[in-house]
Structure 1
Amino acid sequence: MNKTQFYISILAFILSGFSVLGQTRKQLETERIKLQNEIKQVNSLLFNEQKKEKNALEDLNNLNQKIEVRNKLIYTINLEAKALSKEINGNEKEIKALNKKLSELKEDYADMIFKSYKSKSQQSKTMFLLSSQNFYQAYKRLEYMKQYTAFRKKQGEEISIQTSIVQKLNDSLLIQKKSKDRLLSAEKNEKSKIETDKKRKEFLIAAIKKKENSYKRDLRKKIAQEKDVAAKIDKIIRDAIAKANKKVKVKPKSTKKNEFILTPEAKALATKFELNKGKLPWPVKEGLVTRRFGVQAHPTIKGITVNSTGLHINTKKGVFAESVFNGKVLAIQLTSEGRKNVLVQHGNYITAYNNLESILVKKDDNVVTGQKIGKIFTDKVSGKTKLIFVLFKNTKRLNPSSWILKR
């Protein structure tokens, strides 16, 4: 391998190293941007609404969510800064090694130029050829002079290549150092903000303790209301399954209780729904999950357990819930508070869009992906606009987070 190929291979190795390191740092950068956007969403959807009354418990829940996201952001920034430091250290070592190689090249080239200068005159070249003992020797000497000239040219090119590599690394290093400075500044800023949030949190905790029994009563009342709504939806689905299965003349031997007997068309739709697991669109254009699926301890009040039937998604006032997949409106439920819940069937899968103020569909309507189902209710007291999105397979509730796109 000649020297030119050697330096080209060095450059290729360095660039491949950048891509490996850059991929890891790129993932961290993507995560950081995502968390920054999430904090903006938290501020927009949880803290900018107009409230008629203040609720310390709700404010604390919102603040805890913001602190949690901000902690993740600080951690991610720290990891990104460390990854960047590693790249910077690696680049500095490479620059040092390349500068050494460049210095050696220049010394060799200077020595060659000096020796060439001493015998550069055209007369000396002519005499060198004429002093040959025969034609073959003259030919060999001419070839030698051509090779020597080509070698000098190649040495100059190698120095140019090496200088370009060092310059690119220097430029990259400067950009990386500026990026690291910005990251450290961002980390400092986030730490300052989280300290302010923690002070606010302490104030809210003190306020809640004074009225803890009252908050517990209200929570238990809301949990009981949620259970009642969930039980009624469960009954609607069981009744719909029983009604649909009665119409089937020939029932498969494997038919189970509380499971739809699917027509070929319904089975095909269910299969398509399953194939889109993890790729279904969100039921709102913009939203923030404020309560996850499943049984969980209340984030603030000890001794209270919440069983979340689906995802609680806060969004902006005036936003409409949208169907996540093609289907048919199975049922519409009216709650005791006057809100509406719409159930859409997709074969043996059902999506429920709960806590709607008004609806744009009716029972047995066919709907398509992205179609508006209804306007989401905005609480005039809390100022919050919240959709409760529930997913079933027959009567079994599933975690919607595993089915919709990751944000």
Structure 2
Amino acid sequence: MGNLKFNIFLALVFLMSYASFSQTKEQLEAQRKKYRNEITRYNKLLFKEIGKKENALQDLKDINQKIQVRNKLIKTIQLEAKLLSKGIKTNERKIENLKKNLEALKTDYASMIYKSYKSKSQQSRMMFLLSSQNFYQAYKRLEYMKQYASFRKKQGEEILVQANFISKLNDSLRYQKSVKDTLIFVEKNQKDAIISDKKQQESLITTIKKKEGKYKREIKKNVREEKIVAERIDKIVREAIAKANKKVANKPKNSKKNEFILSPEAKALAAKFELNKGKLPWPVQEGIVVRKFGKQSHPLYPGIEINGTGLHIVTSQGSDAEAIFNGEVLNILVGSGGTKNVMIRHGNYITSYNHLENAYVKKGDKITTGQKIGRIFTDKVSGKTTLIFVLLKNTYKLNPASWMLKR
């Protein structure tokens, strides 16, 4: 009976440790899948036109990003393999302990069977009972024989349970070893891919160094142009606020100059927008963020500072921008290259969808979540289709990544 209790305890310990192991393993598997999908998107969306001299600077930035993701994937694979190795060693120790316990059970059971057989050869069960001095002794002997038979049966069942449990542990062990072998193979492939990416990286660096002055001038020019666009958006928003607030008859005493005075309907819409923080859909069906929000050094020239007013999202050619929430088209701006910027108001929140080839909506249109608002422009030189997505609360710029669903 002591052995049975020990076995039950051992099984519970195994199941509890396996549940904890599985939970961590599942998290790493999800992370590994995420990075692999990200690499697939990088190859699909960022490297169609690689090799053109005009794209060298952008291609280098993209390859650097892809190498970073590959390194994250390799690190995740290594953690997963380490976790599996730990699980395999734990299983091997448990199997060894269970085998020793099973051998002890079998020895004990064999001894009991032998004694039982020997007892039967000396005298039959009936003679054992008939030789009793009185009825009470005969009754006790009968009960003893029943208990002995029951104990033998339980020991036989316990041996079967132990054997089945060892078999299941062995199956789990074989599966874990095969998964680990697969992970090692994937890790090797990723390391080989990084070697290939780095060769391409070195080639691009050589190309860029030959025309470094030209590239720096282009970057500074783009920074200036983006600043002009940002200032234009700010001006449009301030004018829209002033115009909307001018129509309000009874202005609240605590109203501020560059903030919308909200009607009850606009206030309710803004409240719903805020409640959906972290759950809002992306403005594209598929995409990669190639530039984040906020002030940052240029990835290749740290001396040049970029002010990311929103997210730069690369998507597939022919993609449409989609509204992330219900609202009304506040304005449609036209850029110097003819690209359009659709601005949608959601109470005192504004979303800006810039770098559109054309717009499907017009100023004043009511918009619903997920509605297609324009075709995103594809650059003929780089071959990339990039949406510049900006989020504001009144005139204050927010990080859109904090408001949208995690991908």
- TM-score normalised by length of structure 2: 0.97
Structure 1: which 4+ aligned runs deviate by more than 4 Å?
49-53
Aligned residues of 2:297 and 2:304 also touching (Cα < 8 A): yes
- What SS does the aligned partner of 1:82 have? helix
Deviation at 1:181, TM superposition (A): 0.9
Letter in 2 for 1:129: L
Show the counterpart of 1:147.
Answer: 147
CA offset digits 1:120-155 (Å, max 9, x no partner): 369610011111111111111111111111111110
Q: Which amino acid aligns with 1:20?
A: S
Partners of 2:190 and 2:83 lie apart in 1 by: 19
Alignment-derived partner of residue 356 in structure 1: 356
Equivalent residue for 1:323?
A: 323
1:301 positional shift: 2.3
- 1:133 corresponds in structure 2 to 133
Which stretch has the larger CA shift, 5-14 or 60-69? 5-14
The aligned counterpart of 1:23 is 23
SS in 2 for 1:388: strand
Q: Number of paired residues?
A: 407
**Relative to 1, partners in 2 of residues 1:17 and 1:390: Cα closer, same or farther, differing over 3 Å?**
same
Q: Distance between the aligned counterparts of 1:5 and 1:353, measured in 2?
A: 66
Task: Using the TM superposition, give the Cα deviation of residue 65 of structure 1 relative to its aligned residue in structure 2, in angstroms.
Answer: 1.0
Contact 2:324-2:370 at 8 Å conserved across structures: yes
Deviates more, 1:9-18 or 1:314-323: 9-18
CA separation in 2, counterparts of 1:146 and 1:112?
Answer: 14
Which residue of structure 2 aligns with residue 342 of structure 1?
342
What is the CA distance between 1:49 and its match in structure 2? 4.3
- Aligned equivalent of 1:403: 403
Once structures 1 and 2 are overlaid, which stretch shifts more, 112-121 or 90-99? 112-121
8 Å contact 1:50–1:383 — kept in the other structure? Answer: no
Equivalents in 2 of 1:82, 1:52: separation in Å? 42
In 2, distance between residues paired with 1:231 and 1:262? 24
Match of 1:36 in 2: 36
Structure 1 residue 2: Cα displacement: 5.1
Give the corresponding residue for 1:8. Answer: 8
Q: Secondary structure at the match of 2:295?
A: strand
Amino acid in the other structure paired with 1:205: I
TM-score, length of structure 1 as denominator length: 0.97
Match of 2:102 in 1: 102
- Matched with 2:169 is 169
| Structure 1 gap segments, 5+ residues each | none
Q: What secondary structure is seen at the aligned counterpart in 2 of 1:119? A: helix
Q: Say which structure, 1 or 2, has more relative contact order (CA 8 Å, 6+ apart).
A: 1
Look up the match of 2:227: 227
1:237 aligned residue: 237
What is the root-mean-square deviation of aligned Cα atoms in Å?
1.5
Which range moved further: 276-285 or 131-140?
131-140
Further displaced range: 240-249 or 308-317: 240-249
Distance in 1 separating the partners of 2:238 and 2:122:
104
Question: Which residue number corresponds to residue 252 of structure 2?
Answer: 252
Cα distance, 1:51 vs structure 2? 8.2
Over residues 326-346 of structure 1, what are the superposed CA-to-partner deviations in whole Å (9 max), with x where a residue is unaligned? Answer: 111111111111010011111
Structure 2 unaligned spans of 5+: none
Percent identical residues: 63
- The change in CA–CA distance for 1:51 and 1:266 in structure 2 (over 3 A counts) is farther
